[in-house]
Amino acid sequence: MSDPRTNRFVRSHLKTRHLVLLVELGRHGSILHAAQAAHLTQPAASKLLGELEHALGVPLFERLPRGVQATRYGEVMIRRAGAALAEMDAAHQEVMQLASGLSGRVAVGTVMTPSTGLLPEAIQLLKQTHARVQVAITVDTSKPLIQRLREGQLDLVIGRILDGDSADELNFEPITDEPHSLIVRAQHPLLQRPDLRLDDLAQQGWIMPAPGSILRDRLTALFLAHGLGQPAETIETTALPVVIQLLLGSDLLVALPEELVQAYLDAGLLAVLPFELGLRMDVYGIVTRKRHRLSPGAEATLQTLRTVALQRYGRRGRLTRP
Ordered domains of the chain (ranges, CATH)? 4-78 (1.10.10.10), 102-177+283-318 (3.40.190.10), 181-272 (3.40.190.10)
Separation CA 184–CA 173 (nearest Å): 32
Q: Is 308 helix (H, G, I), strand (E, B) or coil?
A: helix
Query: Quick check: 144 pLDDT over 80?
Result: yes
Query: Quick check: 318 pLDDT over 70?
Result: no
Query: Quick check: 93 pLDDT over 90?
Result: no
Half-sphere exposure for 89 (CA within 13 Å, toward CB): 15
Query: Quick check: 195 pLDDT over 90?
Result: no
Please state, rounded to an integer, the average pLDDT across all residues of the chain.
87
pLDDT at 319: 43
What would the mean pLDDT of 175-187 be, rounded to a whole number?
A: 91
Classify strands 253-256 and 206-208 as parallel, antiparallel or unpaired.
parallel
Query: Quick check: 202 pLDDT over 50?
Result: yes
What is the largest distance, in Å, between two alpha-carbon atoms of the chain? 75
pLDDT at 321: 43
Report which of 257, 308, 259, 288 is spatially closest to residue 173, judged by C-alpha positions: 288
Separation CA 96–CA 93 (nearest Å): 5
Please give the share of the chain, as a percent, with pLDDT higher than 70.
91
Query: Quick check: 316 pLDDT over 50?
Result: no
Using left for φ > 0, alpha for ψ between -120 and 50, and beta otherwise, residue 185 falls in beta
Query: Quick check: 12 pLDDT over 70?
Result: no
Report which of 225, 279, 269 is spatially closest to residue 243, judged by C-alpha positions: 269
Separation CA 92–CA 21 (nearest Å): 20
Q: Is 182 helix (H, G, I), strand (E, B) or coil?
A: strand
Cα–Cα distances in angstroms (integers) from residue 142 to residues 113, 174, 263, in the given order: 12, 14, 25
Q: pTM (2 decimals)? A: 0.62
Query: Quick check: 317 pLDDT over 70?
Result: no
What would the mean pLDDT of 162-186 be, rounded to a whole number?
A: 88
Q: If 0-12 CB within 10 Å is exposed, 13-18 middle and 19+ buried, where does residue 86 land?
A: middle
Separation CA 224–CA 256 (nearest Å): 20
pLDDT at 293: 85
pLDDT band at 281 (very low <50, low <70, confident <90, very high): confident
pLDDT band at 256 (very low <50, low <70, confident <90, very high): very high
Query: Quick check: 95 pLDDT over 80?
Result: no
Reported as a single tens digit per residue, the pLDDT across 32-60 is: 999 999 899 999 989 989 888 888 889 99
Separation CA 271–CA 264 (nearest Å): 8
pLDDT band at 172 (very low <50, low <70, confident <90, very high): very high
Query: Quick check: 101 pLDDT over 50?
Result: no
DSSP bridge partners of 287: 157, 172
Residues with Cβ within 8 Å of residue 212, at least 6 apart in sequence:
none
What would the mean pLDDT of 126-149 be, rounded to a whole number?
A: 90
Residue 239: CB atoms within 10 A of its CB come to 10
Q: Is 218 helix (H, G, I), strand (E, B) or coil?
A: helix
Query: Quick check: 102 pLDDT over 70?
Result: no
Which DSSP state fits 209? P
pLDDT band at 11 (very low <50, low <70, confident <90, very high): low
Computed from CA positions of residues 191, 197, 203, 205, in that sequence, does the dihedral angle turn out positive or negative?
positive
Half-sphere exposure for 144 (CA within 13 Å, toward CB): 5
Computed from CA positions of residues 273, 276, 280, 286, in that sequence, does the dihedral angle turn out positive or negative?
positive
Separation CA 193–CA 134 (nearest Å): 49
CB 202 within 8 A of CB 231: yes
